[in-house]
């Protein structure tokens, strides 16, 4: 990145520096960046280098290689955290009408049912699940529903634990739901009520890292939506392997509407549930 960071427009990474950076991001996150994302990456690392007091890209790449904290800052800076409440709500309807009834068929009242939102970004998806079930599933109190939210991005996880949301994130929620589950603090921000904040557990997990995935245990349902679009075929296969391991036999996997397990892992069976498409572990 040439001689230094001035705080204005970022200086260009050499082709070699860019390729080292992309290789590191792919290894650490599964996400694919390349020449097309050059400007995006250059802007983000310029800010990080300034904060770290590092003037040249070579030294910065060395710091990334040796310092996990510096790597985490980079990961937090390059992730795309776009999310909102009740996103793709057909799958929430499938959850309450078809998926959970199928899962509890051979459970007893009081048994645990585990649901994983991975990646959860700022928590909108986990709280959406909690609210949706409270509003739409009559048996919600009959079972011990455990909702876990995980993401690779520690900054997004901190925001998820705080549970404060702006108008845009809440725009798909009916006003009655906003009134029941959020406290108004400012005109443009509401915080999810304490009961709900405490009902969801948040932990860091990396979908391409087997160890961090195994640490979360096994789940009956996993929502892994709008993450695999950032991966290449190889990354998707690694993720699918870890998702398969993380599901109980017969467990369900929900992907984003433009994502698919077809051609990635034949051990998942496509199931149409009303308007929603989900996958089931053999
Ligand atoms: C676009 S958001 C999707 C959030 C939510 N699932 C939704 O659909 O609204 C993508 C999230 O994936 C996370 N992410 C990226 N790479 C990851 C990885 N290897 N493991 C876990 N999370 C990752 C990012 O930090 C980001 O929060």
| Pocket of ligand 1 contains residue 243 by CB under 6 Å | no
Is 15-78's fold the same as 90-281's?
no
Of residues 1, 13, 14, the one with CA closest to residue 54: 1
Q: Which CATH architecture does the domain made up of 90-281 adopt?
A: 3-Layer(aba) Sandwich (3.40)
| Pocket of ligand 1 contains residue 87 by CB under 6 Å | yes
d(Cα 222, Cα 24) in Å, to the nearest integer? 27
Atom of ligand 1 nearest to the CA of 76: 25
**Residue 59, both tokens:** 């030294």
pLDDT the model gives residue 3: 42
Edge-to-edge strand ranges of the sheet holding 200-204: 200-204, 144-151, 112-117, 219-224, 247-255, 276-281, 268-273
Domain 15-78 belongs to what topology? Chemotaxis Receptor Methyltransferase Cher; domain 1 (1.10.155)
CA atoms within 13 A of residue 45's CA, in its CB half-sphere: 28
pLDDT, tens digit (0-9, with 9 covering 90-100), for 96-138: 999 999 999 999 999 999 999 999 999 999 999 999 999 999 9
Atom of ligand 1 nearest to the CA of 75: 25
Of residues 129, 127, 265, 30, the one with CA closest to residue 280: 265
| Pocket of ligand 1 contains residue 96 by CB under 6 Å | no
Of residues 178, 56, 89, 165, the one with CA closest to residue 121: 165
Is the model's pLDDT at 174 over the cut of 70?
yes
> Domain spans of the chain?
15-78, 90-281
pLDDT, tens digit (0-9, with 9 covering 90-100), for 207-239: 999 999 999 999 999 999 999 999 999 999 999
Is the model's pLDDT at 4 over the cut of 50?
no
| Pocket of ligand 1 contains residue 159 by CB under 6 Å | no
Is the model's pLDDT at 246 over the cut of 90?
yes
pLDDT the model gives residue 282: 86
Whether residue 71 has a cis bond before it, omega within 30° of 0: no
**Residue 261, both tokens:** 């397990």
Is the model's pLDDT at 249 over the cut of 70?
yes
Give the pairing type, strands 219-224 and 200-204: unpaired
pTM: 0.95
Mutate to test the pocket of ligand 1, among 87, 152, 205, 242 (most ligand atoms within 8 A of CB): 152
Average pLDDT over the chain, rounded to whole?
95
d(Cα 93, Cα 6) in Å, to the nearest integer? 51
Q: Whose CA is nearest to atom 19 of ligand 1?
A: 29
Is the model's pLDDT at 5 over the cut of 60?
no
């Amino acid at each position: 990145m040439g001689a230094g960071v001035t705080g204005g427009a970022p200086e260009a990474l050499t082709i070699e520096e860019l390729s080292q950076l992309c290789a590191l991001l792919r290894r650490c996150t599964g996400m694919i960046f390349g020449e097309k994302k050059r400007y995006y990456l250059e802007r983000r690392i310029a800010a990080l280098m300034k904060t770290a007091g590092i003037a040249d890209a070579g030294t910065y790449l060395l710091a990334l290689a040796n310092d996990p904290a510096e790597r985490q800052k980079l990961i937090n800076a390059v992730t795309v955290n776009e999310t909102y409440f009740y996103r793709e709500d057909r799958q929430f309807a499938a959850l309450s009408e078809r998926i959970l009834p199928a899962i509890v068929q051979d459970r007893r009242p009081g048994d645990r049912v585990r649901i994983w939102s991975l990646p959860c970004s700022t928590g909108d998806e986990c709280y959406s699940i909690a609210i949706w079930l409270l509003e739409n599933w009559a048996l919600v109190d009959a079972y011990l529903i455990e909702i876990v939210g995980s993401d690779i991005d520690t900054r997004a996880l901190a925001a998820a634990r705080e549970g404060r949301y702006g108008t845009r994130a809440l725009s798909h929620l009916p006003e009655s739901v906003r009134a029941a589950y959020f406290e108004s603090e400012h005109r443009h921000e509401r915080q999810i009520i304490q009961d709900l904040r405490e009902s969801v557990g948040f932990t860091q997990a990396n979908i391409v890292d087997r160890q961090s995935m195994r640490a979360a245990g096994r789940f009956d349902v996993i929502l892994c939506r709008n993450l695999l679009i950032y991966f290449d075929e190889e990354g998707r296969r690694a993720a699918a392997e870890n998702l398969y391991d993380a599901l109980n036999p017969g467990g369900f996997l929900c992907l984003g509407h433009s994502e698919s397990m077809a051609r990635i892992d034949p051990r998942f069976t496509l199931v149409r549930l009303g308007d929603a498409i989900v996958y089931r572990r053999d």
